[in-house]
Each structure stands twice: as structure tokens, then as C-alpha cells.
A and B are shown apart, each in its own frame.
Chain A
């Protein structure tokens, strides 16, 4: 064979044709740099700023701002609202996902769209809806006033707004999962004599528990961090109806930067704890999660 050996490099065994899906070194490097750059610029840097600003005057100042009664009340209120809203949405979400995934009925497509409504509507509008519904000038207003029921500018209003905004998280997570799993597991349980509740506890719930957990964690993160809808219904009464995000805004507007960022760190920490929890669970139970997704 008269091949020009200079133009055809003799390929060493290790330099065989690369696999079809593997990229060149440059392409890989570029992708990694771009992705990392984005993460640093848009996620890590802002987060770091929050912590740096909070500790600008040292840890003592940080601690005292958090011990401020109004701030403390905001933290407490946020936890209370989340503690009510998340379980409610857990129940609603499971019920809605169950209905949509396992039954055929008229208006199913409409219900599915309705569940997405809170995602597509601006949170401010969501809050305003409740003002229009329960406010003094609304149809329900005089009735509520007469019996001394406080919904707006009180905890019930905050819970309602939060439930509304965070409604889709659990349902959205579960619907595709339950649709994919179908109804044959449930039918099998029923055919073996299990009651509806037994079927739910022993068959359906174990099948959806990971999806449910993700849904709840996301729902919780949003419930604690919600600003827009809550801002409209809260009335910003200091020490009473201010949640953490609202407290951050107030403090910031008062040029009390250290306090504002200190509260923000607490909020960020709650989010980080959620994230760490999720990752830890994924690592701990990765085998089980993988097993429950195939089959």
C-alpha cells in the first residue's frame, strides 16, 4: 500500500475513534465554564453577598438584630403559615392528583388547567383576589365584620394567600407520576380484598412517596419565601402580620441593611436546609428511588 505516512498518522491503540456521544476536550471545557460561570454569577454571588452583608458588623450585631421582637415575630409567623399551608396543600395535592390520574370524568382537562392557575397568575393578583373576596367593601365584608371574623390583615388571610400560591407544587409533582404508574397496582390490592384506605396506605402512598416528598419540600420553600400575594393581604402590621420576606423589605427600606440581610440569611438558610435535606434523601435512598421508577 502506497500511503503517505506523513499525512496519515499511525493511530496508537488508545486513540481509536471516540464514542459518538463524547465531546472534544474544548467543547467540554467550554460547556463546563459557561455553566459554572452562570452558577457563580447568578446564584453563589448573590447568596454570598447576603451573608457578607449580614455579618458586616460582626456576629454580635447579627445576633441582636435577630433577637428584635418584630423580627422574631416575623420568623414565628412564617413558620406558622408554612406549618398550616403545607399540610393543607399536601392533602389537596394528593386528592387532586389522585382524581386526575386515576379517574375519568368530565371537566378533567379543565381541572388540570385550574391547578396550574396559581403559576400563571401574578402573585400580586392572587393576593388581590382575597382582598376583593374578604375586604370591607366585598359582599362577604359586612358578614365577616358582624361576627368579628378577621381574615384580611391576619393569619387566616396569609394562610389563604400562601395556600393559593403554593397549591400546584404537590399536585404537579404527583400527576405525571401517578399517571405513569396507572391503576393496576390499586386494582391488584382491591382484588386481594384490601379496602380503599388500605390500598392507599399500603400501595398508593409507598409508590408516590418520593414524588410527594419533593412536592412538599418545594411547596415549603415557596410557602416560606412567598412575597407578592402575602404582601397584599398582610397589611404590614409590625410584629403581627409581617412574614420574613415582608420584614426583610421593611428593614431594607428603613436602611437597616444589617438587620435586613440578617433576616435574609435565616430565610436563605431555611431554603438551604430544604435543599440539603432533599439531596441527602436522594443519596441515602437512591437505590429505592431508582427501583420505584422502573418496573
Chain B
């Protein structure tokens, strides 16, 4: 079922946790709410569930106004961060709870409830553990019971709050892949909250990046990574470098040197240049480039990370090179130029960005869009 969040505002006391947030969630989509703690992502999830009521705004489930409905009427499946399994009930009783508490007119017969619960336990690969209590399960198993329990009520939308937050790294990776499989098989519209960008980018069809109670950007993982629309997204997703630069007659300058990048139609003035460590090219002989002294060099898996000092006034810059390329630059001074970059004016507006397609390295200047 598609879910539309319209101009939602939520205040706790006088503190706004969400400020005028709108979001369209498509039917059958797996969508991630990603942001640092305090960004309002969990609040948004709980508002969709009906566990909180909005100060202002509406939430639609399909064509119906769900914000006038209680949590019970919304028929959602919610998986809590710490699972909230009923500890005095067996796994089977936990999974069948949602069906057992239905009024008798809508409740399936006991045998049917049992069959459905067992089917779900098979789906989450916990067959044979139905008589166990939650305390007798591992973290990953509890997580799967919680998911089976939420799916048992055939929810309109499945909501997961930091579903893998309490698990160790190995289990987390496994469950991530497994959740994707379950989603592809069952097709539930699924919203999950996470602060782990890797999780969001790997798992979700679309990612909603949130910060300070507002949505910064909504897009596919590729769009989020390749075309960040704000300094926050650039900084929050992946690695990035930022430099304070000035624009003068369509050219970008770092202090008193042009760095060989052009932003043709931009007015003069101060701006901030963002680029990713791997989106650079090394240059021999500098006639318009960034150059710095190598202050640290680390090998991380298949790449070499170089930390460069561009001068006291600037934060150090990190670039990534293939190890063989890095060893050939045995001198301690490195000249390079970003191949993909973006300028933001001081007020955070997008100022200029080159085309994202790779251009020939020989091209000295690129025009901004």
C-alpha cells in the first residue's frame, strides 16, 4: 500500500522533532530513513505507525486518511529496536498474537492461526524453535521472530526501527541480505530506520536522508551518493572533502591560485567546494590544480588513502588512489584535481556542479551546470 506523508509537524513540548515533512512512499517499496540521532527519523516512523500523533499534517494510507485512525486500526507491522517480544510467551504464541487478539468476527480458526504462524516461522527460517521462549534465542533469532510477528497480521506497511542496531556486524550483514530476500518475496511496503548509511544504501530501493527534523534528500542509493543536493548529504554519506574557495570570473580559486576548475555562469564570491576522495586525478606539473604535502598514507583493502596538507588555512584533504598509482608518486608533494565536484554557496544553496559523466582527463576546465 502506498503511504503519503503530507506536511507533518511534530513537537515534543516546544521542541519540534519534525518540521513540515512530506514524503511519498510507493507501494511495495523498501525505503530507508537515514540520519544521525536526533534527526527525527524514528519519530517519522512512529507517526506513520500511529504510535505518536502529529501536531499538524496528514498521513494517507492509499486514499484513506490514516492520521485519524488509531494504531490498531491502521493495521501496520512494527518491529521494535529491541524487538519487544513478549517474554512470557513462546515463539509460536508471539507470532500468532496479532491474529489471536482479533475480535471473533475477524479471527481465523485456531488451526488456521497455528498454520499461518508456522508458515511464517518457516519463512524466517526458525522452524523447530516455535516452543522456545525469547530468552532462549540469540539476538538474530529474536529479530526474526519480531519480523514474523509483525508480518502475521498482513500489515498495510511494515515499519522497522533500527532493525539491525543491536546485532553484531556479522549477523547484521547476513540479516540485511535476508531481509531484502524476504521483501522481494512478500512485497510488503517496508520502511526502515537506520543510522548506518551502508545499510541504507545497500538495502533500500530509495533512501530518505534526514537531518534536524527535515528531509534533506530523497533518492535511489545511486542518486544519494552521486548527486548529493546539500552539504549535509555530501558530508553525511560516504567520505568527502570540503574546501573554502572563491569564485572569480567563472574560475575557482583556492586563496591566490586557480585550481583549474571552471564554474562559468556563477557570480563571483565565496563558496565551498565538495569532492569525494576517489573522484580525483593526479596531475604532473601544476598549471591550475590542488597541491599538498602527503602527511599520512594508509592502505585500506584495495586502495591507498593519502592525507594531504594544503596549507594551514585549510582542513586536511584525503584522496584515494590505486596502490600501484600511489607508489609511483613517491615524492611527498602531490598535485591533483577533482574530477567530480560540487560547489555550495555559503547559504547552502547548490551553486555549481559539473556533469557527472566522466570527461576526458585532458579537459582542463569544466563548466558548471
Interface check B51, CB cutoff 8 A: yes
From B25-33, B96-104, B274-282, give the one contacting chain A. Answer: B96-104
Residue of A with least CB distance to B134:
A295
Given A184-B82, A295-B134, is A192 in contact with B51 using a C-beta cutoff of 8 Å?
no
Query: Residues of B contacting A195 with CB < 8 Å?
Result: 72, 101
Binary interface profile of B, 70-94, with partner A (CB < 8 Å = 1, else 0)?
A: 0110011110101011111000000
Interface check B133, CB cutoff 8 A: yes
The chain A residues found within 8 Å of chain B, CB to CB, are: 184-185, 187-195, 198, 202-203, 206-207, 288, 291-292, 294-295
Chain A min CB distance to B93 (Å): 9
Assess whether A192 is in contact with B149, with CB atoms less than 8 Å apart.
yes
Assess whether B82 is in contact with A194, with CB atoms less than 8 Å apart.
no
Q: Which of B51, B78, B135 contacts A294 (CB 8 A)?
A: B135
Query: Residues of A contacting B86 with CB < 8 Å?
Result: 185, 188-189, 202-203, 206
Interface check B153, CB cutoff 8 A: yes
Assess whether B72 is in contact with A188, with CB atoms less than 8 Å apart.
no
Interface check B49, CB cutoff 8 A: yes
Highest count of chain B CB atoms <10 Å: which of A190, A191, A203, A295: A191
The chain B residues found within 8 Å of chain A, CB to CB, are: 49-51, 71-72, 75-78, 80, 82, 84-88, 97-98, 101-102, 133-135, 149-150, 152-153
Assess whether B97 is in contact with A189, with CB atoms less than 8 Å apart.
yes
Given A194-B72, A203-B86, A295-B134, is A187 in contact with B101 using a C-beta cutoff of 8 Å?
no
Query: Residues of B contacting A187 with CB < 8 Å?
Result: 51, 71, 78, 80, 84
Main SS class of interface, A: helix
Residue of A with least CB distance to B87:
A295
Query: Residues of B contacting A206 with CB < 8 Å?
Result: 86, 88
Assess whether A192 is in contact with B153, with CB atoms less than 8 Å apart.
yes
Assess whether B71 is in contact with A202, with CB atoms less than 8 Å apart.
no
Residue of B with least CB distance to A292:
B87
Assess whether B87 is in contact with A191, with CB atoms less than 8 Å apart.
no
Residue of A with least CB distance to B80:
A184
Chain A min CB distance to B72 (Å): 5
Question: Bound state CA distance, A51 and B135, in angstroms?
Answer: 46
Chain A min CB distance to B294 (Å): 50
Question: Bound state CA distance, A288 and B133, in angstroms?
Answer: 10
Question: Bound state CA distance, A295 and B49, in angstroms?
Answer: 24
Chain B min CB distance to A3 (Å): 48
Closest 8 CB pairs of A and B: A192-B98, A184-B84, A188-B84, A191-B78, A194-B101, A206-B88, A291-B135, A198-B101
Chain B min CB distance to A56 (Å): 50
Query: Residues of B contacting A294 with CB < 8 Å?
Result: 135
Question: Bound state CA distance, A203 and B87, in angstroms?
Answer: 9
Chain B min CB distance to A23 (Å): 33
Assess whether B102 is in contact with A191, with CB atoms less than 8 Å apart.
no
Assess whether A207 is in contact with B87, with CB atoms less than 8 Å apart.
yes
Query: Residues of A contacting B88 with CB < 8 Å?
Result: 206-207, 288, 291-292
Query: Residues of A contacting B78 with CB < 8 Å?
Result: 187-188, 191
